[in-house]
Amino acid sequence: MSKIVATLDNPHSSAGDLERIIRHDQALTAKLLAVANSAYYGFRHEITTVRRAVVGVGYGEVRNLVMGMSLLGFLHPSTFQNKEIAENLWLHSLAVSECCRILGKETGLFEQESAFTAGLLHDIGKVVLAAFFPEDVEQLKYTIEKEGLSFREGERQLEMEHDRVGGSLADHWELPPMLVEVITRHHSPSPTLNHYPMVSAVHVADFICRGLGFLDHYSTDETTLNVKALDGINIQKEDLKPIAKKMHERRQAVRALWEGMVQGIPTENVNPSV
């Protein structure tokens, strides 16, 4: 993942540079080809090489997929004590990614590819907590129920706020400032932020996806919408319905993307050559 981030941050990098990183990792190659051939993209002809995937799917798209699959490499649902929470967390994140992409297309305020990455990583703190500290997560739920706290209040009381955890990881991984801000501030968009539109888009996408049933089954608070997020992407509340409709139409595609990213294909069927 560090090689991928470094490549993406280099303004002189190309699709060929990204391809060279991917094709030397059999597992990553297998998953990339599985996703490229999934119903999410719906190509008529089978994609059998990394180069064709980069050309067919697009450089920006492939970089997002590779980053997501790199994360899934060590945060795979099979490693979670509660696999149902793992699946719901990742499905929720992928749904928010797709919805962010739609918002990017509708508003024209930011790149759709960057929006996808922001949506994918916004709740990385929850994913890591659920993966490596399952007992603490159970204690959080118990504390919330016993003391009648909101989810955010419970997180603060036990000093395990997922946005702080995610932000610390993002700093440690040296992710771009935009992603750090999205991870740490997606619950509190503000005009003072450097990346106000993107943070706002993630907040709105999170709200829409929860309303459509893409719940992470981690947090317990009722979904609320911060009106500052609407201002951040220059839309009105009534504009959310057509966006939610477009997102609803992509439900099966999001599921197909998830299955491709998690399951991959057998390595003996992979051709990593160019």
Residue 8 has what pLDDT? Answer: 64
The structure's pTM equals 0.81
Inside any domain, residue 102:
no
CA distance linking residue 241 with residue 256, whole number of Å: 24
Over the stretch 26-55, which tens digit does the pLDDT of each residue have?
777 877 888 888 777 778 788 888 888 878
What is the count of structural domains for the chain? Answer: 1
Measured between alpha carbons, how far apart are the two ends of the chain, in Å?
21
Mean pLDDT of the chain: 84
Over the stretch 220-237, which tens digit does the pLDDT of each residue have?
777 889 999 999 999 999
Inside any domain, residue 28:
yes
Residue 74 has what pLDDT? Answer: 66
Please compute the mean of the pLDDT values over residues 165-188 and round it to a whole number. 90
Domain that holds residue 264: 1-74+252-274
Inside any domain, residue 220:
no
Amino acid occupying residue 75: L
Query: Does position 272 have pLDDT exceeding 50, yes or no?
Result: no
Read out DSSP for the chain?
Answer: -HHHHHHHH-TT--HHHHHHHHHT-HHHHHHHHHHHTSTTT--SS---SHHHHHHHH-HHHHHHHHHHHHHHHHS-GGG-SSHHHHHHHHHHHHHHHHHHHHHHHHH-SS-HHHHHHHHHHTTHHHHHHHHH-HHHHHHHHHHHHHHT--HHHHHHHTT--HHHHHHHHHHHTT--HHHHHHHHHTTS--TTSTTHHHHHHHHHHHHHHHHTT---SS--SPP---HHHHHHTT--GGGHHHHHHHHHHTHHHHHHHHHHHHH---GGG-----
CA distance linking residue 52 with residue 274, whole number of Å: 8
Inside any domain, residue 152:
no
Query: Does position 120 have pLDDT exceeding 50, yes or no?
Result: yes
Inside any domain, residue 149:
no
Query: Does position 263 have pLDDT exceeding 70, yes or no?
Result: no
Please compute the mean of the pLDDT values over residues 90-103 and round it to a whole number. 92
Inside any domain, residue 27:
yes
Inside any domain, residue 214:
no
CA distance linking residue 4 with residue 21, whole number of Å: 7
Over the stretch 185-211, which tens digit does the pLDDT of each residue have?
999 999 999 999 999 999 999 999 999
Inside any domain, residue 90:
no
